[in-house]
Structure 1
Amino acid sequence: MVQRFDLAVVGGGPAGSAAAWQARQAGASVVVVDKAEFPRDKPCGDGLTARAVSYLQRMGLAEQVSQFHRVNRVKVFSPSEWELSFPRRPGMPDHGYVARRPELDTLLLKHAEAAGAEIRQSAEAAGPLLDDTGRVTGVLLKGGEKVLADAVIAADGAYSPIKRALKLDSDYNGYSAIAIRAEMPAVRPDVDSLDIYLKLLFQGDQLPGYGWVFPLGDGRINIGLGYVNSYKNWQAINATHFLGEFLETLPREWELPSITELKQSKTVRAWRLPMGFTAWPPWRPGVLFTGDSLGAGRPTSGAGISKALESGLAAGECAVAALANGGPDDFTNYAQRMEAAWGQEYRRGRFFHKLAGNPTVAKTGLKLLDNARFRNMLLTRLYKGQEGPAHRF
């Protein structure tokens, strides 16, 4: 017997779990399918910005999130050293956290389940189900099971099988960042800062990207680096070797493992982070795209968790509203929400992405940022806006 739901969510990460939780607040029947068994690892920097924390608080997870390692500032090496505190904004936290994805994602998935969503783990989506008009009417699982739904929310990642099966492109010229990270012990205090290293060189070229060192607590850290694919020779970069070179620039007294040791322990993970709307419009009849399947990474930093949560919550709310007021053929309300929230930011991101790929431009920009006088002027202007500069990390 085939069961039918109001919403089928493909993917149980932050975007999918947030969408499922939000839809349950309106009483919709929801099923979440994910190919993995939770807890499962997910390559990530593990940093939660203040805005990400605000969404988790909104979902009723303030107490649980406070158990993660708290960070109160961003320390930048450009290569000179300077700091940013998280800005104080009405109704917003002035701090962030560092949370390992196995713990964070399991927390979110269980939260969606506690709200009434049906969770099916080890249930991999093979592709969408379509009616005669081409509208998505559910999900076909590997093994042949059909999950029928009035609408599908595709939160199935950067390599979205739903998007690939529909052969969708984007009206915008989205782009990607390539990132790699490893978790490891370090002989250093559990600091309260997210450390960002902006001087990232490949064969003498300044790259549009940065390295990071994020504290996980209990003497462990997450170290990684990322760069966007606007750099002409990005495909020539061996990310693992590059990470090894970055590790060698960090203080020797930390006693970090070598890249060879990290590879042997299988803690090195690389991934692709789509940015700048790689699916636009963010819906087709019967389906909405969210998180990495939408290309929701923050253009300036690649931060993905806050964007996943924001787009997931919006997708869940907009899907239920559209189904109640016209049906699954038109989710323009979701496109309007995303355009209003991110449109201007992502247009700027696509523009600067092209510029930053030129090593000369990237080097000039870094030199300006490393100038304290110019930097203070820039940060003063940013702090006068609606969002402080630390939010952009």
Structure 2
Amino acid sequence: MTDRYDVVVAGGGPAGSAAAWQAVRNGARVLLCDKAEFPRDKPCGDGLTPRAVSYLQKMGLGDEVARFHRLNRATIFSPSEWELSFPNRPGMPDHGHGIRRTQLDTMLIDHAASAGADVRQGEEVVGAVTDEDGRVTGITLKGGEQVRADAVIAADGAYSPVKRSLKLDSRYHGYSAIAIRAEMSAVRPDSDSLDIHLKISHRGDQLPGYGWVFPLGDGRVNVGLGYVNSYRHWKQINAAELLGQFMATLPPDWELPPVGALQKSKALQGWRLPMGFTAWPPWRPGVLFAGDAMGAARPVSGAGISKALQSGLAAGECAVAALANGGPTDFTHYEQAVNATWGREYRRGRMFHRLVGVPALTTAGLTVLDKVAHPRFRARLLFWENTLSGS
């Protein structure tokens, strides 16, 4: 053991950096470790919803985020074309932004360091250290070094080494999505819309998912698609081939590159997205889980950045509060906070996840969605909320 901290955070993505920033702001001595050297890329849709922007504003990053490409609405193709605007809510922005993860994650980890967190890049966390009672007391780095901490926040991604080292499971572990995307140039004016295409299919089956075109500004777009694993033939899908089929439906005058060229240039990236709380409860003695390590992505839309930020901020706050009021063996307050904020939404989302895996039900739902003209009803049918801002 070479050092001791109040809180050690594994993972420097949005959840980890938000957790480290919050814990430092609450008076903790914090270490944040990530295996990568920043800037580094992460496969993602690269779109920030208004709720995600609101958390960045809360962290004091409003001016920095405002420099990126602004998004004011969503255009849905079901296959008819219709729009949803972002709302005006008290204390909330009415817009989102397109921002690459290279830029977003670097901004966040630098912000955590500026707040006072000890940040170690290029340091891979490979597991948790536990005492004889099974309580997590620190982390182990790839080189063998162990760092002690009163609390560990595992924000180390979908394949969380901390979670795997503890051999944890959750009754919700099977809920996930598969996504693939690439950034590319498009010959079209820069748009202020998140474009969402609901009609994607595999061998005649309507898939439980959607394709997207998210603008990044300067003639660049993020094009991708995702589908959930409740569809029984999901393992038979060639994601790259499916993306190519989707891109073929987009306007030819955009002059998008072929999928083969994107693969050759390594612009094409796929990933698995755990959702619906794949670590539940979201803590064990000595450790809290946040972001993809918790499975924080919404089981309806797969939106993850706002949930990563929100869970990270909550984990950082609850960890320090628990250390000051009873010690690291009980983080029930974190579980209560997560359940109070997301519990009902995620219970419904897991049910939705199961239902949309049946192609006939998904087709029927899209037929209804396509025929109904009321924006509020359409938004609720898609997301169980008045607007997209809950993403």
Partner of 2:58: 58
Amino acid at match of 2:387: P
Partner of 2:150: 150
Structure 2-normalised TM-score?
A: 0.97
Partner of 1:24: 24
Structure 1 unaligned blocks of 5 or more: none
Distance in structure 2 (CA, Å) of the matches to 1:157 and 1:380 = 30
Partner of 1:84: 84
- Confirm or deny: 8 A CA contact 1:208 1:227 kept in the other structure: yes
Partner of 1:204: 204
Partner of 2:311: 311
Distance in structure 1 (CA, Å) of the matches to 2:253 and 2:173 = 44
- Confirm or deny: 8 A CA contact 2:208 2:227 kept in the other structure: yes
Amino acid at match of 2:202: F
- Confirm or deny: 8 A CA contact 1:382 1:388 kept in the other structure: no
Partner of 1:167: 167
Render the CA deviation track for 1:38-87: whole Å, top value 9, x for unaligned.
00000000010000000000000000000111000000000000001001
Say if 2:267 is the partner of 1:263. Answer: no
- Confirm or deny: 8 A CA contact 2:2 2:147 kept in the other structure: yes
Say if 2:180 is the partner of 1:180. Answer: yes
SS in 2 for 1:109: helix
Say if 2:383 is the partner of 1:389. Answer: no
SS in 1 for 2:76: strand
Partner of 2:247: 247
Partner of 1:378: 377
Render the CA deviation track for 1:301-359: whole Å, top value 9, x for unaligned.
10100000000000000000000000010000000000000000000011111110000
SS in 1 for 2:189: coil
SS in 2 for 1:369: helix
Aligned residues: 390
Partner of 2:277: 277
CA offset at residue 167 of structure 1? 0.8
- Confirm or deny: 8 A CA contact 1:50 1:86 kept in the other structure: yes
Amino acid at match of 2:5: F
Render the CA deviation track for 1:351-370: whole Å, top value 9, x for unaligned.
11111000000000011110
SS in 2 for 1:370: helix
Distance in structure 2 (CA, Å) of the matches to 1:376 and 1:55 = 26
CA offset at residue 388 of structure 1? 2.8
SS in 2 for 1:63: helix
CA offset at residue 389 of structure 1? 1.9
Amino acid at match of 1:364: A
Distance in structure 1 (CA, Å) of the matches to 2:215 and 2:380 = 30
Partner of 1:115: 115
- Confirm or deny: 8 A CA contact 2:28 2:320 kept in the other structure: yes
Alpha carbons of structure 1 residues 377 and 183: separation in structure 2 relative to 1, 3 Å: closer
Render the CA deviation track for 1:85-129: whole Å, top value 9, x for unaligned.
001111100000010000000000000000000000110011111
SS in 1 for 2:212: strand
Amino acid at match of 2:317: E
Distance in structure 2 (CA, Å) of the matches to 1:126 and 1:264 = 31
- Confirm or deny: 8 A CA contact 1:12 1:33 kept in the other structure: yes
Say if 2:365 is the partner of 1:365. Answer: yes
Distance in structure 2 (CA, Å) of the matches to 1:80 and 1:272 = 29
CA offset at residue 171 of structure 1? 3.8
Distance in structure 1 (CA, Å) of the matches to 2:375 and 2:59 = 36
Distance in structure 2 (CA, Å) of the matches to 1:140 and 1:348 = 37
Distance in structure 2 (CA, Å) of the matches to 1:377 and 1:60 = 32
Partner of 1:95: 95
Distance in structure 1 (CA, Å) of the matches to 2:268 and 2:338 = 33
CA offset at residue 392 of structure 1? 4.6
CA offset at residue 184 of structure 1? 0.3
Render the CA deviation track for 1:9-29: whole Å, top value 9, x for unaligned.
000000000000000111100
CA offset at residue 372 of structure 1? 2.9
CA offset at residue 172 of structure 1? 3.6
Distance in structure 1 (CA, Å) of the matches to 2:128 and 2:319 = 17
Distance in structure 1 (CA, Å) of the matches to 2:73 and 2:250 = 20
CA offset at residue 210 of structure 1? 0.2
CA offset at residue 379 of structure 1? 4.2
Alpha carbons of structure 1 residues 117 and 222: separation in structure 2 relative to 1, 3 Å: same
- Confirm or deny: 8 A CA contact 2:36 2:121 kept in the other structure: yes
Distance in structure 2 (CA, Å) of the matches to 1:297 and 1:51 = 14
Distance in structure 1 (CA, Å) of the matches to 2:189 and 2:375 = 29
Distance in structure 2 (CA, Å) of the matches to 1:100 and 1:40 = 10
CA offset at residue 216 of structure 1? 0.6
Amino acid at match of 1:93: P
Distance in structure 1 (CA, Å) of the matches to 2:191 and 2:252 = 17
Structure 1 residue runs of 4 or more that deviate by more than 6 Å after TM superposition = 380-383
Distance in structure 2 (CA, Å) of the matches to 1:247 and 1:5 = 49
Alpha carbons of structure 1 residues 67 and 134: separation in structure 2 relative to 1, 3 Å: same
Quote the sequence identity (%).
Answer: 67
CA offset at residue 147 of structure 1? 1.0
- Confirm or deny: 8 A CA contact 1:154 1:293 kept in the other structure: yes
Partner of 1:356: 356
